[in-house]
Amino acid sequence: MRIVVLHKWAPDPQEATVGADGSVDFSRAKAAVSDYDAVAIQCGRQLADAAGAALVGVSVGGEAAARPVATKSALARGLDEVVVVSDPELEEAGSARTAQAIAAAVAALGDVGLVLAGDSSVDVGARMVPAVVAGRLGWPVLADVDSVALAGGSVAVERLAPEGVQSISAALPVVIALTSEAVKTKAPGMKDVLGAGKKPVTVKSLADLGLTALSEGAVTSRAKLGGPARKGVVIDTSDPAAAAAELVDALRAAGALA
């Protein structure tokens, strides 16, 4: 089995400057593997070691994403190999196009049981890519995940919720978006740095993946966020089955469910 980790070569927000008008200027910020993706790589390494799986990085972007320093930075963090989809069309691409390219790269790899990602990118932070990748692949997505364990053909995850820990398991394949607290990242050691350049890197264009016209999709709604006023209904969850039934009834009554 392969475990895929998505990683973005992104400008470091610590080095971005904010103008007087609130605009953010990344032009002088040095690029690095997105901090949250470093979490996903380290988590993936632990899972791959435990499961005897190969750990493959997938990165998508313009010319910079395929630079050796970009791929070595990710490889030094523990990946076994990296696939980069580098194409002028992917320069500054939005979540939909990025996810389309990622999904195609994952599908092309084959034998992928698990895709791990940070739950957002450091620079854009739209939190969209994992869900759209999962949608493209037709797999479930588990977001806001704080810990992951693999057992046979399924995955057990935990999410920290205000009320406690939520445990969920799902059959593979799945896409998982990890919180930045999922593991404490460790800086690559000197041997990791020197070994990074010896690991395989495959660079593909969109054409190599059979992708031609990518689109960000049509904007379907421009409604202001916030939505209708809340009704403030509180459902007692001490009996989960009864609570679920009550929720479904309430949604039906509101016309939200047919």
Nearest to 2 by CA among 75, 59, 53, 57: 53
CB of residue 30 to other proteins, shortest distance in Å: 9
- Say whether residue 193 binds other proteins (CB under 8 A): yes
Instruction: Print the binding letters for residues 56-75 with other proteins: x by CB under 8 A, - otherwise.
Output: ------------xx--xx--
Residue with Cβ nearer other proteins (81 or 192): 192
231 by Cβ neighbours in 10 Å (0-12 / 13-18 / 19+) ranks as exposed
Burial 64-76 (b: 16+ CB within 10 A, else e): ebbeeebbbbbbb
User: Tokens 């364990």 belong to which residue?
Assistant: 149
- Say whether residue 203 binds other proteins (CB under 8 A): no
| Residue from 89, 192, 208, 246 binding other proteins (CB under 8 A) | 192
CB of residue 131 to other proteins, shortest distance in Å: 29
Tokens of 79: 């990946």
- Say whether residue 197 binds other proteins (CB under 8 A): yes
DSSP 15-77: G-EE-TTS-EE-TTPPEEE-HHHHHHHHHHHHHHHHHT-EEEEEEEESGGGGSHHHHHHHHTT
Residue with Cβ nearer other proteins (25 or 216): 25
Instruction: Select the span of 122-130, 131-139, 140-148, 182-190 touching other proteins (CB under 8 A).
Output: 182-190
| Residue from 22, 162, 187, 219 binding other proteins (CB under 8 A) | 187
Q: Footprint of other proteins on this chain (CB under 8 A)?
A: 32, 68-69, 72-73, 76, 186-194, 196-197
